[in-house]
Amino acid sequence: MPALPWRYLRYLLVPLACCAAGLVIVLGSRGPSAAWIALVLLLLEVSLSFDNAVVNARVLDRLTPGQQRFFLTWGLLIPVFGVRFAGPLLMVALAGGVGVGQALDAALHHPAHYRELLELAQPRILAFGGMFLLMVFLRYFFDEAKTLHWFRPLERRLSAAGRIEALEIALALILLLLLDAALPGELRAEVMIAGVIGLVLQLLSTSLSEAFGDEEQAGARLAAGGGLASLLYLELLDASFSLDGTIGAFAITSDLTLILTGLGLGALFIRSLTLMLSREKALDQLVYLEHGAHYAIGALGLLMLGGIWLHEHAIELPEWLTGLIGIVLLLLSLTDSLRHHRRRSNPEPG
């Protein structure tokens, strides 16, 4: 048992070294204040995306070794630069009625103006990410084939409700309609369209992945297709998690360089944590950890959707609260998983 932590630690040595090196570079080039902001952003990303690593680890098991390497290396560019830079840039251009070039100029040379434009795009971003994550939560628990339950009274009922086809879609759409009805008229169409797009993309990506899910029986061609579909789902899931962190980062600083540095280093750490959970088959022993991660995902999705209404009433939820909820749920599920593992390893006599 003493060797166990060291076996896990080897997955985290490189990202920890990269994080330390990145912070030292920021310290030397920008000073202590910038280094502190980068560290805060790094911790923000890790706290918000820890549950993402748990879910990603399960999906990562479906990929071929080559696809796993792509996700853990080049796939890192998509959430870091695509979601944290190009994604908000495009949303800002659409919301502000400006060209992408003008939005880029504002991001690089007028960060305060860029932040104002980002706030205009915030309802669409939150609606898309919130509905995507809410559907991840609902589709996990509304499953009649699910036999392992953590909160049994609740999850048994949700699993039984899964017999009703498309019930989770109806619930998500009802919630979106209720939210839309509570918003000012000028926001309703934008929020509705963005939310429906998030819902459709989640359904499409998971349906493609499940269609090719039985890779051992489907043959090499279908296995590759299933891996690609799972890879697409991973990137979309990563993107949805990153949206909330990106908006929160702009509440801390408008410096795009520091945002990319802090969140990028945090994403690198989460990638290595995902690899550790997948390679060590930790989820097969920590059986409730995946449940806790999905509860955290559901909470984050609801907070993102609720944040649209709160923002219209000048109420902002602190990012630490979102991260704290996820960490608490994961710690509770981890504790129960370890207790369950001990009971199975050392059964009581009789």
pLDDT higher than 80, residue 311: yes
Q: What confidence score (pLDDT) does residue 215 get?
A: 39
Residue 350 lies inside a defined structural domain of this protein: no
Residue 71 lies inside a defined structural domain of this protein: yes
Contact 230/73 with Cβ under 8 angstroms?
A: no
pLDDT higher than 60, residue 213: no
Q: What confidence score (pLDDT) does residue 223 get?
A: 42
Q: What confidence score (pLDDT) does residue 220 get?
A: 39
Q: What confidence score (pLDDT) does residue 222 get?
A: 36
Could you list the residue range(s) of the whole structural domain that residue 155 is in?
A: 3-345
Q: What confidence score (pLDDT) does residue 243 get?
A: 67
- pTM, two decimal places: 0.78
pLDDT higher than 50, residue 218: no
Residue 133 lies inside a defined structural domain of this protein: yes
Residue 304 lies inside a defined structural domain of this protein: yes
Q: 13-33: per-residue pLDDT in tens? A: 888 898 999 999 999 998 898
- State what percent of residues in the chain have pLDDT above 90: 16
Q: What confidence score (pLDDT) does residue 211 get?
A: 58
The pair of three-digit structure tokens given for residue 340, joined into one six-digit string:
């369950």
How many folded domains does the chain comprise?
A: 1
Residue 257 lies inside a defined structural domain of this protein: yes
Provide the mean pLDDT of the chain.
79
Residue 153 lies inside a defined structural domain of this protein: yes
Contacting residues for 305 by C-beta, under 8 A, at least 6 apart: 126, 127, 130, 131, 134, 175, 176, 179, 195
Residue 37 lies inside a defined structural domain of this protein: yes
The 8-class DSSP code of residue 79 comes to I
Q: What confidence score (pLDDT) does residue 217 get?
A: 38
Buried b or exposed e, range 273-287, using 16+ CB within 10 angstroms? bbbbbbeeeebeebb
pLDDT higher than 50, residue 262: yes
Residue 162 lies inside a defined structural domain of this protein: yes
pLDDT higher than 60, residue 166: yes
Q: What confidence score (pLDDT) does residue 178 get?
A: 95
Q: 77-122: per-residue pLDDT in tens? A: 776 677 667 766 777 777 667 788 888 888 778 877 877 787 788 8
pLDDT higher than 60, residue 289: yes
How far from the centroid of its chain's Cα atoms is residue 43's Cα?
Answer: 15
